[in-house]
């Protein structure tokens, strides 16, 4: 059953979920009937109908339930997040709770301004560091990883905060922060910013995509959407992430976006960023660029070159220095992974996928016969001591393992204890505030949530060994596919 307003001619096979079309009875029929293609909330090609086994239908059920719940609570969810952010910033601008109460009594309470450079996001309040590690400079093999992670963290902030961070703290050129349109959600839900790191010996543009914000229902819907498109000769790709990057509802992935139809009010991420990059890259033959992002941002970062490959954008592929993602979910199937590894290798592009501890996001969507999603690229896995290893796949690849539940909770306890000691063992730059300590308490129940914090990824890129960045065969890379303690 096809949706008339969505041309999927760019794909040879597809399965798309439309949770807003699901009726109550239809929802439960998913579990007891395999005639999914007859339901108007599923749009599938003929080649995918035989795949609706019970396990796949169960995963579709979970995906739809999660998305419908998120759509239902979107407004209160956003309001709660805004209140929490406001209170955290209210405490911050008034220094602490004691001063806040005193200012309130005096009638001198300072109110936070959401558009100011001093306003910090929920993610930013978990880790307030804005300075780069001065000991890791250009030429160090860790340089792009540390810069990319800080850029990924900064992407969660508002425009003024990012601009101030890039210009005043990093002494780099700020190229802009942008909101991008999602044609399927009918609003601008994708964000990214660009900076230029230029010196006598290098000229690099960094494109940083914003990840999933804790109280952003639209972004979480993209994460839980298990829709997929299969492109002939390429493989199957996660539909939610493609939509966030700029997949067009009526035309798919045309090479150019010349005539945006209403009601679009903002540009599409891939096309707008491509235009900026081509303009800047043609000015100087020595200019290169890096793609990065944390969480959902990481998924968008690795899908960007995939679309560039489809469009045969030679300049974009030649000048791509590398892709650095942190806590990135799976974006496609095994065939897509093989396609991307070959194309990235042919174009000399290095792709590093960072995973910290028990972070749940890199372990989603499931890697099994029912969902077919698989990781690819160089995975660098860090344990709670920030010891990194190049691994074939992160340990406990699908997260939900009864046998590993107790070890994961024990590890979360040790991470909480570390919050109180790391200041003494690693120095003042690694001090953890009260808000992050409270967040780590959540990890005692669900270790995968607290392990997704940007704090641990920043620490890993700074404290981890540089050996993991060296090409295979140098004799210094410790390759292991076993779990680090």
| Residue entry with tokens 């995963």 | 59
Positions marked active-site: 295, 359, 452
DSSP state of 114: T
| Sign of the four-CA dihedral 42, 44, 50, 53 | negative
Q: Are 323 and 302 in contact (CB under 8 A)?
A: yes
- Residue 38 in 3-state DSSP? helix
What CA–CA distance (Å, rounded) separates 445 from 441? 8
What CA–CA distance (Å, rounded) separates 425 from 70? 41
Phi, psi of 102 (to 5 degrees): -65, -45
What CA–CA distance (Å, rounded) separates 270 from 247? 9
- Count, in order, helices (H) and strands (E) of the chain: 16, 14
CA 450 from chain centre, in angstroms, equals 15
- How many other C-beta atoms are found inside a 10 Å radius of the C-beta of residue 145? 27
Q: Are 229 and 172 in contact (CB under 8 A)?
A: no
DSSP 442-459: HTTT-HHHHTT-HHHHHH
- Residue 365 in 3-state DSSP? coil
The two tokens of residue 464 are 């981890």
């Amino acid at each position: 059953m096809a949706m008339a307003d969505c041309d999927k001619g760019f794909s040879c096979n597809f399965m798309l979920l439309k949770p807003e079309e699901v009726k109550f009875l239809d929802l439960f029929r998913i579990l007891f009937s395999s005639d999914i293609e007859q339901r108007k909330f599923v749009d599938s090609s003929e080649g995918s109908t035989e795949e609706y086994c019970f396990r796949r239908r169960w995963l579709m059920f979970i995906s739809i339930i999660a998305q419908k719940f998120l759509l239902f609570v979107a407004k209160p969810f956003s309001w709660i997040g805004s209140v929490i952010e406001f209170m955290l910033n209210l405490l911050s601008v008034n220094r602490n709770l004691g001063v806040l109460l005193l200012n309130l009594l005096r009638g001198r309470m300072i109110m936070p301004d959401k558009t100011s450079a001093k306003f910090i996001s929920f993610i930013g309040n978990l880790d307030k560091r804005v300075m780069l590690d001065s000991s890791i400079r250009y030429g160090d093999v860790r340089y792009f990883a540390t810069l990319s992670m800080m850029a990924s963290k900064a992407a969660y902030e508002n425009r003024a905060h990012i601009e101030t961070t890039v210009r005043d703290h990093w002494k780099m050129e700020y190229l802009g922060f942008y909101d991008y349109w999602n044609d399927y959600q009918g609003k601008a839900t994708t964000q990214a910013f660009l900076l230029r790191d230029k010196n006598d010996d290098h000229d690099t543009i960094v494109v940083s995509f914003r990840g999933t914000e804790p109280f952003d229902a639209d972004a979480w819907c993209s994460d839980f959407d298990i829709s997929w498109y299969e492109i002939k000769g390429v493989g199957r790709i996660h539909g939610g992430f493609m939509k966030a990057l700029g997949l067009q509802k009526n035309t798919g992935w045309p090479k150019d976006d010349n005539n945006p139809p209403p009601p679009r009010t903002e540009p599409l991420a891939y096309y707008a960023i491509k235009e900026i990059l081509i303009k800047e890259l043609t000015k100087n033959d020595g200019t290169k660029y890096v793609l990065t992002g944390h969480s959902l941002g990481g998924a968008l970062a690795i899908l960007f070159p995939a679309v560039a490959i489809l469009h045969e954008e030679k300049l974009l592929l030649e000048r791509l220095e590398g892709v650095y993602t942190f806590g990135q979910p799976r974006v496609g199937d095994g065939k897509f992974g093989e396609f991307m590894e070959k194309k990235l290798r042919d174009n000399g592009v290095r792709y590093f996928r960072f995973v910290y501890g028990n972070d749940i996001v890199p372990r989603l969507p499931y890697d099994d016969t029912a969902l077919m999603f698989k990781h690819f690229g160089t995975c660098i896995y860090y344990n709670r001591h920030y010891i990194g290893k190049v691994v074939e796949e992160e340990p406990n690849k699908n997260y939900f393992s009864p046998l590993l539940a107790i070890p994961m909770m024990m590890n979360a306890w040790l991470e909480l204890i570390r919050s109180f000691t790391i200041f003494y063992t690693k120095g003042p730059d690694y001090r953890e505030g009260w808000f992050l300590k409270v967040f780590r308490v959540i990890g005692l129940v669900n270790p995968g949530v607290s392990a997704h914090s940007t704090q641990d990824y920043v620490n890993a890129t700074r404290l981890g060994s540089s050996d993991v960045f060296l090409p295979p065969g140098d004799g210094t890379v410790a390759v292991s596919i076993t779990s680090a303690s």
